[in-house]
């Protein structure tokens, strides 16, 4: 179960930041970023970090980094196109 923080999370609460861009097609009919796109962005950022910090993880050690989670942290609504932290 996800624990709700006592306060809103801010960018400075996280040690790693990566800029991601969204597209108009990422919006749902209400103008919000589609939930599936949120997961794609998380996946892309995590894999980019793994590639940057452990470039030979898979080829040299036969290990594949996987992040599995049934839920995602919520953030204020955003719409596209935009750049987020």
For the chain, the structural domain boundaries read 18-60
Residue 1 CA: distances (Å) to CA of 4, 37, 46, 69: 10, 22, 21, 11
Whether the full predicted model's pTM is greater than 0.75, yes or no, is: no
Q: What is the pLDDT of residues 18-38, one digit of tens each?
A: 888 888 888 888 888 888 888
Which among 36, 35, 39, 65 has a CA at the least distance from the CA of 51?
Answer: 65
Q: What is the pLDDT of residues 68-81, one digit of tens each?
A: 765 655 555 666 56
How many whole angstroms separate alpha carbon 38 and alpha carbon 34?
7
> What pLDDT shows up at residue 69?
66
How many whole angstroms separate alpha carbon 81 and alpha carbon 26?
8
DSSP state of 33: B
């Amino acid at each position: 179960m996800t624990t709700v923080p006592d306060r809103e999370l801010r960018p400075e609460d996280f040690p790693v930041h990566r800029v991601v861009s969204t597209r108009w097609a990422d919006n749902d009919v209400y103008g919000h970023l589609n939930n599936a796109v949120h997961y794609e962005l998380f996946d892309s950022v995590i894999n980019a970090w793994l590639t940057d910090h452990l470039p030979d993880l898979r080829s040299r050690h036969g290990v594949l980094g996987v992040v599995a989670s049934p839920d995602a942290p919520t953030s204020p609504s955003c719409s596209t196109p935009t750049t987020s932290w």
